[in-house]
Amino acid sequence: MRILILDSSRHGNVADQESNRLLVECAAWLGHCARVLDADTVRFASSGEVLDPIGRDEVVLPRADLRSAADVHRFATVLGALQRHGCRILITPEALWNAEDKLRAHQLLEAAGIATLPTLVPPAGAATAAELEPLVQRLGGYPVVAKHAFGWGGMGVVQAADGDALAGVVSLVQQLAPQTRLLLQPYVRHRRTITVQVVDGAAVAAFASFADGGEFRTNRTGRTAALEPRGEAANLAVRALQALGLALGSVDLLENEQGTLQVLEVNEAPGLEALAPGDRRCAEAMVRLAAGGRAARRRVLLVVPFPLHHGRGNAVSAERLVAALRRADVDVLVLEVELARRVGWRAALGGFVPDVVHAIHAFRAGPLAAEIAAGLGVGLVVSFRGTDVGRGLGDPELRATTVRSARAAAWLTSLTEEQRAAIVADLPEVRDRISVVPHGVAMQPGARRFRAELRAEGSPLVVQLAAVRAIKGFPGVLDLVDRMHAARADLRYVLAGGLLEPELEEPLSQWFARRPWARWVGELSHADAVALLSEADLSLHASTEEGLSNALLESLALGVPAVARAIPATRTVLGAQQGGLLFETDDEAVAAALRVLAEPRLAHSLRAAGPLRVAESFPASAEVEGYLQAYRRALLARAPRDGR
């Protein structure tokens, strides 16, 4: 399907460019070709015939920033011409006028029995407080809101607290813009507005906008929160669009202090931000509507350095991503680097032909993924994790491999903003093709009960989930545990993690053999590791180098207080006691652990803060949406450049 995104961007709104880019990416991901055309460049013959090479089979998706009646008239004229040309138009000229003219929209909503704000028009020439008083009384008295019948983004919307203020606004508009129709509405005290995005009769996304800092217009503060599009808000938004004859759009609902909803405005071209999961859902729904519901089932090859169900963090992350992608209707094949070396990547793929190749780890999986992507002519995504930023770019033996992988990628991801900044500082050429996709948290604890197995009922239990390697703090972290136990003789310590550096086996084995209160249980399945962590009183994190720890995030999600070495990744997660305490020195580590175990109030506050921190900043839904966006970018990089 060919989709023409018809844009009117003469006002230079950056948000329009972002929205258009997201729609093009989503179209490519769903197997369609989309291109953007400036409506002001469409040419007509004197007969009204369209002269530009616009195919009659193209579906037109209008996207416009219209701020005056003249803007709407010009854009509606182009839409009408394309409609006569034979194109299918998702928003008709009539529906465009219905939405853009706020008075017309109000009248249609009222006629359909939809709750909306009372709206009155001052009589021509009425500009004094006395002349305006009858209208104000019909609206319920001051304060009132004056707005233009055509406008965008809250521009020209003014709150008048008394007659003099309102008369000043009306007089000024009559002098400076006599052709402008001014509307008056009551000011309704409210905490938030709710915006619901609707496509083809279904609410697909929603968010709340909050007024603060003395600003009464919630769309001017920039403070928002995602909502589920359901209930009365979703129903009201769907009905509002139907009343205006719109197949898609967004509806701003005002929620008063009693919780009652009224339609504030209707927008036929909602702004879409690439990093907002709800906006991406809306964009994909718009593309599906344009394409008559048809979409390609995309295929992703995930190249991983280690087998899934392995205890290492990258394997846990990959396993979580695979499950999420399959729920998102994406076909995924996982290819382990070692398997590809043994049998060859073409044999390992069999008949699987991916649309995108995704490498988890730049220098361990990146070279193989780059070879496959080049061999198949598909897009490549490379995800930096932890060691591939520090050692991968700093170690001369690894740097060349890491840099080649990064330069071959159509898109890159990092786990944190600090990590992204370090990559861009080293490789400035990737600045415009790298995004931050933090880990999400998705886990299902196993059935094992470790306290019973360890005979640790009633004892403070310190758990460390970490593969045994030097960058995880071994063997030095064991000295910290000794000092903790010296201060708390009832303390129990459990290490869960496989041995990755053989030279550490003897010192660790000897250490545990001499301490009956400590156990090394080896590598556990992810479910069993989560079960162990859920029984802990404290989780310990001593890594000297790390991207973003799954174990740390899972600890917070379970409400288990964490004590972690203050490296960039843990600072990003914990901040100001957001579920745990940070330490710089050994003394600080011991003191922090003993505080958590000895101070119930502190432990309680950390247990409460952890789940909130994870829900706010590390949801699994945001992780998969971030990677889907990266795949769209990579797919688009391989699409025909003329967009047709």
**Selecting from 3.40.50.2000, 3.30.300.20, 3.10.520.10, 3.90.1150.10, what CATH number does the domain 299-440+622-637 have?**
3.40.50.2000
In the DSSP assignment, the letter for residue 361 is S
**Tokens 């479910």 belong to which residue?**
527
Q: What is the pLDDT of residue 641?
A: 38
Whether 215 shows a pLDDT value over 80: the answer reads no
Residue ranges covered by each domain of the chain? 2-91, 118-187, 299-440+622-637, 450-618
Lowest mean pLDDT among 89-98, 102-111, 138-147: 138-147
- Residue indicated by tokens 């598909």: 378
Nearest residue to 284 (alpha-carbon basis) of 6, 17, 632: 632
Q: What is the pLDDT of residues 466-505, one digit of tens each?
A: 989 899 999 999 999 999 999 999 999 999 998 989 999 9
Helix (H, G, I), strand (E, B) or coil at 392: helix
> pLDDT tens for residues 248-286?
999 999 998 888 999 999 999 888 887 677 888 899 999
- Name the residue with higher pLDDT: 50 or 406: 406
| 570: nearest Cα among 442, 483, 472, 462 | 472
- What pLDDT band is residue 442 in, cutting at 50, 70 and 90? confident
The predicted model gives 555-573 an average pLDDT of 93
| Residues 346, 325: Cα–Cα separation, whole Å | 23
CA 578, 583, 587, 593 torsion-angle sign = positive
Q: What is the mean pLDDT of residues 102-128?
A: 89
What residue has token string 């007659």?
Answer: 163
DSSP 547-601: S--HHHHHHHHTT--EEEE--HHHHHHHTTTSSEEEESSHHHHHHHHHHHHH-HH
Closest CA relative to residue 520, chosen from 479, 484, 472, 468: 468
212 phi, psi to nearest 5 deg: -155, 175
User: Angle of helix 387-394 relative to helix 417-426, nearest 10 degrees?
Assistant: 20
| 540, β-bridge pairs | 563
- What share of the chain in percent tops pLDDT 90? 56
Gap between the Cα atoms of 237 and 266, Å rounded: 9
The two three-digit tokens of residue 44, written as one number: 């007509």
Asked: is 2-91 a CATH 3.40.50.20 domain? The reply is yes
Mean pLDDT confidence for 364-374? 96
Q: Count CA within 13 A, CB hemisphere, residue 214.
A: 0
Instruction: Enter the CATH code of domain 450-618.
Output: 3.40.50.2000
Nearest to 497, CA basis, from 559, 558, 539:
539
Tens of pLDDT, residues 169-212: 777 776 666 667 888 989 888 878 999 999 999 999 999 988 76
| Confidence label for 18 from pLDDT (cuts 50, 70 and 90) | confident
Q: Is the pTM of this model over 0.85?
A: no
User: Which residue type, as a one-letter code, is found at position 368?
Assistant: L
Alpha-carbon distance 307 to 227, whole Å? 37
Task: Count CB neighbours of 293 within 10 A.
Answer: 8
pLDDT in tens, 53-90: 788 888 999 998 888 888 999 999 999 999 988 899 99
Q: What is the CA radius of gyration of the chain?
A: 29
The mean pLDDT value for 496-517 works out to: 94
Residue-wise pLDDT tens digits, 607-618: 999 999 998 888
In our burial notation (b when 16+ CB lie closer than 10 A, e otherwise), range 425-438 reads ebbeebeebbbebb
Q: State yes or no: pLDDT of 37 exceeds 70.
A: yes
Query: Quick one: pLDDT band at residue 225, thresholds 50, 70, 90?
Result: confident
pLDDT score recorded for residue 160: 84
Q: Sorting pLDDT into bands at 50, 70 and 90, what band is 246? A: very high
pLDDT above 50: residue 420: yes
Asked if pLDDT for residue 326 goes beyond 60, the answer is: yes
pLDDT band at 640 (very low <50, low <70, confident <90, very high): very low
Directed axis angle between helix 477-487 and helix 586-598, to 10°?
40
61 vs 644: CA distance, rounded Å? 15
- Cα separation, 147 vs 126, in Å, equals 16
Which residues are registered as beta bridge partners of 357? 301, 380
pLDDT-derived band at 642, boundaries 50, 70, 90: very low
Distance, CA of 361 to CA of 317 (rounded, Å): 11
Evaluate if residue 632 carries a pLDDT over 70. yes
Low-confidence winner among 103-107, 124-128, 389-393, 555-559 (lowest mean pLDDT): 124-128
Residue 644 has pLDDT above 50, yes or no: no
Taking the C-alpha atoms of residue 8 and residue 355, their distance in angstroms, rounded to an integer, is: 32
- The runs of H, that is alpha helices, within 114-162 are 129-138
Q: Is the peptide bond before 475 cis (omega within 30 degrees of 0)?
A: yes
139 pLDDT exceeds 80?
yes
Phi, psi values for residue 585, rounded to 5°: -115, 170
Q: Is 2-91's fold the same as 118-187's?
A: no
CATH code for residues 118-187: 3.30.1490.20
**Residues in CB range of 588: below 8 A, 6 or more apart:** none
